[in-house]
Amino acid sequence: MGHRPGEAALYTASALIDGLPYRAFDTKDSNIQAAYFGETLMIWRTDEAVGNWRQQLVPGKPWVLVDVVGHVQELTVDALGYADIPISTSPVYVLARAEYERLARY
């Protein structure tokens, strides 16, 4: 992944968000940027398109999608561990429900 303004912003934000480590994630699509903060995936589009991003998650765990204003929805994960994540220009966060509950209680 080349250096992009979004990547620099994510790295800076990671130092401020609960001290969670930042890990870049190459989506192989120049219009989609993503990174991990700890085990939380943050993902969004840089263009105006709207669609789904298919991501493999650990099967057997309940997963949630959280938007930037805190709305939470359950994610359906298939038998192979894949979830279809709706993405747009507004970032969303994908994390295990247990981790969300741990982070949200502060």
Structure confidence by residue, pLDDT tens digits, 21-38: 888 899 999 999 999 988
- Quote the number of domains for the chain: 1
- CATH assignment at residue 40: 2.60.40.1180
End-to-end CA distance of the chain: 33
**C-alpha radius of gyration, the chain, whole number:** 13
Cβ atoms of 3 and 10 closer than 8 Å: no
- Structural domain range at position 50: 5-104
pLDDT of residue 1: 44
Which of 78-100 are b and which e, b meaning 16 or more Cβ less than 10 Å from the residue's Cβ? eeeeebebebeeebbbbbbeeeb
d(CA 23, CA 75): 22
Residue pLDDT, tens place only, 50-70 = 899 999 999 889 999 998 888
pLDDT of residue 5: 60
User: What's the pTM value of the predicted model, to 2 decimals?
Assistant: 0.81
φ, ψ for residue 41 (rounded to 5)?
Answer: -90, 130
Mean pLDDT of 8-31: 76
d(CA 4, CA 32): 12
Residues 6+ apart with CB under 8 A from 32: 43, 44, 45, 46, 53, 87
Q: What is the mean pLDDT of the chain?
A: 85
